[in-house]
Structure formats: C-alpha cells, structure tokens
Chain A
C-alpha cells in the first residue's frame, strides 16, 4: 500500500480530545481515540480545516524553517501571491521581496509571475473547443485531493497544467543555473506557503512525478523575519547600481492570492470562482449532475476568500484580501514581464503540462465486491437506525453514520456510543435493583413486602 505523506500533524500534548476537529473535517478523516485526535492517512487531504477549527491549537502544519537554506549553495525564495496580503497598508512589493535577500536567500522569484504563465496556458486551452467544459483549476491541491476521493468522475476536467508553485520553481532554478553556473541540484527552491496542502504537494505532488520545489516554509514561520528586514534597501551594491527590480509580476498574477484572481487573469469565456470547502463540494455535486455546462472555467479554493485565507497566513482572510488589493492597485499597471511570443512558446513546448494523470482514490468503498458491499450496507443502515442520531461525537466519530461505518469496518463497537452504553447500564441497574430487593429467608423480618403483609 502507498505511503502517504501528510503535513497536517497533531501536537499530542495540546490535544485534549474534545472532538471539535472531527466535525470540521470534510472527508471524515479524524477520530478521537484514547483521548487524542488521530488522522486517517488515506483520507486526509491536508486542507487544514482542523488547524483552523482547533481551539487548543493542537493541529499544526509541518513545514521547513530557514535552517533548510543551509542544505543548498544557492537559495531562491518563492513567495505565494497571498503572502503580500499579510503586510500593513503602505508597504510595497519591492521592499518585501528585498527583505528575502536580507534573511539569507540569494534570489526571489514571485509565484505570481508563474501564475501569469498558467493563466495564459489555460486561456489558450479554453479557446479550443475540443475540451469538455467546465474545466477546473489545478492550483489548489486540497481541492484536487478532495476530488480524488469524492468526485473522481470530474478529474478529467481539470486543466492538466502544473501549479504556479511548480512552474515558478522550475523557471527560477533554470535561470539560476544560467546566471551562476551552480549545479541544478545545489540550488534550493523554497516555497513560502499559505497552507499545509502545498507543503504536501511539494513532497508528494499529484500532477508531476517529482517536484522542483526543495523546501516549503510556512508563511507564519517567516513573517517576523521579513517584517524585521523591511526597508533595509538592496543587499548587493551591484544590483543597486543596475537598479535591478525584483518585482516582475503584474496585477494578473498577483491577484491569484485571493478568490476571483484566476478568472480575472484568464479573461476568456464564462467563469466562476468558489471558495470554502463546503461551497466547493456543493458546486461539484451540481456539476456532477450535469449542471453548469455553460460555464467554461472554475476556480476552486478550499480556504475562504482564496489563498489569503490559508491556515498558515497571518491576517484574517478578508483583511488580507483588502491589503493585497491595495498593494496591487498601488503597484499600477506595469507591462507583462513575459512577451506574448514568449508565453506562446512556453505553451507550445508543453513543458508546463502535468505529466501524471490525477487518479481516483475510492477509499470510501465498503467492499470490492458489490454484493458484499450491499450486505455491509444493509447492516450499516440497520446499525445507523439503532443509533441515537444525535451526532454528538462522544464516540470519537464525526456522526452516528460514521460510527456505524467504523463498526462495519471493524474499528469501533456499538458500546462506543455513550447513549447506547447508558441504555445497557440502565438495564443492568434495573437488574441489580431487582436482585437487591430479593432477601434471603433468614433476614425475612426486614423484607419490606413482608412487613406490609404483617
């Protein structure tokens, strides 16, 4: 069986076994056992809903730290578009990018710039009438993993393009090799991530065999270092002399940090943008039934308001979006870094197409044999009917139905249900009471019934 890597982890010390997270998990991947939350590896999509919902901050995303930089000769920071929404109003993008060079990076490459390439490729694909519509963005890996489990029938309608993160890493490393002569393997591409899903995507990518991203640092882990190093000016004098600007992305790519950024930059056909894991699921249900065939492209993000709402970002998602919008507006309309010709060339060569098919992961199936699965389903329905239907979570499962499923799978017992257990105790108590009232003949004088009769 395949080993799954997950970036979402549990801090056992902080977990009090309260069952809040199990209710928020869209794939019902968490159970509370022995007073601690346990994540089922094969079900987890690393969306981070449990990180957001845990009041005790017991869930966290495992990511790299700045120490990772010591493993490479030359390091390139790849900040996510949403990262720029984390700063106070009045900051400018160039200053933020310069700060990366002050904390140990040798180069910065905006993922926003790669997003512009993806936008171009997708717009070209939409112009061809051959594809089945609507097509779905592949930029949110948590959405892709959700589709693998719950909406496998729609996987073929994804754009089949690599993510902006992946493309950014490839271009930045190729450029660095040319510029410095350092070997490709000695160059580290470090993504600055808003979410655990992208940490996982770099380690265990879905759309390509091996990711060019060498490390991922959570936005929350690097934020303070960046803040402290703002406004220090250019690091190297040579760059200053050449007035080299690190900021190359335009509004098109930068707006990928918040919801609606993708459709706005693709500029072709009828588009739709949806965020929040529940909203994504209900929209996918509709599309699965054949609705929305007149829509060409759909952006989907599991986080509210898009990547600015990522669990590793610092600001509230709405504040982050306002800041990012302000930043983009102030940056003005600089011309696109890549010419139309260069973009056409990149699309034509097909280097940025995904190389792996996104395969279904039918982990919800009760049994491989349909007849056997039906037998189990009959039992499952029966058990569900007998459970109280409170969905209280005290058994450690997200719902009564989920407990019934676990019982069928052999990982739980009916008496895990506190209500069921209480019923059993009640029956037992009545029996004990009955036994207690039976008095042996030698003590008959004390027998209440006898007294009455006397």
Chain B
C-alpha cells in the first residue's frame, strides 16, 4: 500500500516538476557564482563564500537558499494535497469503501509525504554536489571551523544535511496533512500550510516574542549548518529533531482524530 501510494505521488507530473525545480536551484546558483567570478562581499546566503572553494559547499549553500521557501513550499503542496486531493476527486470515498482502514490510509499518506521531504532535500544536495564538482575545485574540504576534512567525509556530511533538512520538514508536513483532513479543496490546504510557514517565520523574526522562538517549527531550520563545523555541533540539530517530533505527535494525532471520525461527504 505504501509502495502504491509512493508510486502514485512521485509519478505525478506536478511532483516531478517540483523536484526538477529544486534540482535547478543549485545549478543556477553555481553558474551565477562561477560567471560573476566569486561571491559578492555584500552578503548573501550562508556558505556562498565557501562555494567557490569546494563543490560540497555548493550543496550546502543550495540547501540554505532553498530552505526558507522552496522546500517548504513543495512540502506544503504535497502534504496539503494528501487527503484533500482525494476528497476533491471523490476517490476518498472509494478508497474507504475499498475497504482501506481510515487510520491505515492516513499512515500511508504520512509515510509518503515524509519520503517526499527527504527526497526534496536529497535532490537539492545531489544536484548541488554535481553542479559544484562541475564548476569548482574538489579535494579536501575546509570546514567552517577552519580545519580540513577529506572530500568523502564532506560529501557524507552533505548527505547527512539532506536527511536533517528533510526531517526538519516533518513538523510542517504534519501540519499540512492535518489541514488536509479538514477540507475538500486541496488548494486551501496548501495555502494554509504555506501560511503556517510564513506566520512561524515572521514570529521568529520578532524579538518581542523571543519566548516563543524555541517552540516555532521554523526556528532550527538552519541548524544543519552546524554539520559543516569540525567537530560537528549537534546541540541545535537535536533540538530541531525533538521539536519536529513534538509537532508530528501533536498534529499527527489531531489529523488521526479528525480522519477517523469525519463524515466523508465528498
């Protein structure tokens, strides 16, 4: 059932287009930095300065660029569509009558959305590493702490960063699936999920509500950067994963309660 659902989601033209766009970001980024002859000193996203030094940093810079908006947007599209999409087509009633247990169906949807989160981050990293290797030197990687690590170690860390970024999306994915169980219009669920990201990001930038910051699901989204230090600083990464787990538990059970009790009228 999970496989069938995964094939269905990843087979959709919309989802493939999202992944292609995500893969295009690192390529454009690398190309732009290469053509302009190096990083601008006027700032810019994290890691951009290091991108010319090593291909691995192109991948990390791409993650930093896509993290605030592109990746969450694509996760919101897939998560928001998960249940509401079936409801709007009317296929939800046929899946339930098939019969597919309501809880089982929700679980399958959630697993596939989680897979998509990881896939989205992996696509960015893999495309970033390839683009980086094409334009910039490879070999030893100089970490943010100034030490050097072998290239393979650096590559491994960028894959690990993809997993961390993917997992950082789980909280948002849970919110998206939860909203998706409430409406028969997928576009509404997607918009509300994107709205959740925006609200969380805005609150995260307002110092007057600093007490809330540790509880915002966007707060530790850039924690993956600590993977580029030597030694790796795990503190905020663990905090991030713990927070995501809390969001998944809360919105996951709410979605479960809604899904197993709702009247399916669509």
| A and B are interacting partners | no
User: Which positions in B face A, CB cutoff 8 Å?
Assistant: none
User: Which positions in A face B, CB cutoff 8 Å?
Assistant: none
